[in-house]
Structure 1
């Protein structure tokens, strides 16, 4: 032995006297274990890399309608979280968050069908009890009254007058989704810190 000294085995951690300068394990059994471990780590890294590539490929292949759906979902979640401590915009009753399936929606003053250009406008969307949003189509007057109380008559009238068409690109929809996911995180973090 020419001065290699005593080393500690990378597998079993016992001291051994190496026969080769770069020897890392004490014997054949530990060498096999080390090889299996190294191969397992390499396979795990390859799997992670492949999943990342697949995820990026799926993102690139999404259609505009898929981006729109994701952006709308993120926007609605933010509005529900933002208004969780406020009463229903229509009837003024408290929002019951603990109910199974949730008891309130993100309701739009000007519906997404009639005014798609306002679907991501925060002035146009507020937390609304499901009874008022889904089965109370005649609640538009009550919604308007609640909206005037919250944002003021001038802003309500500007919302009603907004007829400018907007067609969002996939990149804009991705940015909207990311923006409202971040805003949701901030609202939730603000609630847990308070």
Structure 2
């Protein structure tokens, strides 16, 4: 017969000889607090799930669009990591997701990947309001003249109207792309 090795109690830390291989505590005096903490963890987990469902139900269309914008901007920053600023060409900068056609005026291309590129936050995006003169010169070089012309046509079309399920679908799509990009090593 195999010799039973002593274990350390997960609650009090004292050594004991277990009667079963799955036994974690030395006795009832330690089993009760362990059971309480496990129940508290389960209750907390259930409450967090319920709270997330309640928050999602209370979100407005505008809130969902903000969530989508955050996810798309994170994707753009990951996609353009290591590339120079689309406007000024600087390499060492704090990156933001700069829109060629402003998101407020051109809702149709607000989430268009050809319209959003890595841009230095302070110099170009904030101080120079997108530095559009330089952006206009460098954007066709980055995406190609044909895609640039198509972007200009799409921007002039009617405003994009997404339903909440469509927004949720796009959020999941971009989260998946972000997970893929974070999983693979950075290429230079």
TM-score, normalised to structure 1, is 0.75
Query: Distance in 1 between the 2:43 and 2:142 partners?
Result: 53
Q: 1:142 aligns with which of 125, 134, 144?
A: 134
Q: Find the counterpart in structure 2 of residue 115 from structure 1.
A: 106
Larger radius of gyration: 1
Match of 1:175 among 156, 159, 169: 169
Q: Tell me, yes or no, if the aligned pair for 2:86 and 2:139 is still in contact at 8 Å.
A: yes
- TM-fit CA distance, 1:188: 2.4
C-alpha deviation, 1:71, in angstroms: 0.8
Give the distance between the partners of 2:180 and 2:71, measured in 1 at CA: 13
- Whether contact under 8 Å (1:74, 1:180) holds in the other structure is yes
Report the Cα distance in structure 1 between the residues aligned to 2:95 and 2:33, rounded to whole angstroms.
53
Cα distance change on mapping 1:178 and 1:95 into 2, 3 Å: farther
Does 2:156 correspond to 1:159?
A: no
CA distance in 2, matches of 1:126, 1:76: 9
Shift of 1:15: 7.2
Q: Which of structure 1's runs of 4+ aligned residues deviate more than 6 A?
A: none
Does structure 2 conserve the Cα–Cα contact (< 8 Å) formed by 1:117 and 1:165? yes
Q: Distance in 2 between matches of 1:191 and 1:184?
A: 13
Instruction: Report the aligned-residue RMSD.
Output: 2.6
Cα contact 1:79–1:125 (8 A) shared by 2 = yes
Aligned pair count reads 168
Q: Pick from 76, 81, 84 the counterpart of residue 81 of structure 2.
A: 84
Which deviates more from structure 2 when the two are superposed, residues 135-144 or residues 59-68?
Answer: 135-144
Q: How does 1:96-107 map to 2 (within 5 A)?
A: 96=93, 103-107=94-98
2:100 and 2:130 in contact (8 A); partners too: no
Between 71-80 and 130-139, the greater mean CA deviation after superposition: 130-139
User: Normalised by the size of structure 2, how large is the TM-score?
Assistant: 0.77
Distance 1:161-1:55 versus aligned 2 partners, 3 A rule: same
What runs of 5+ residues in structure 2 fail to find an aligned partner? 1-8, 10-14
Which of 61, 72, 79 aligns to 1:75? It is: 72
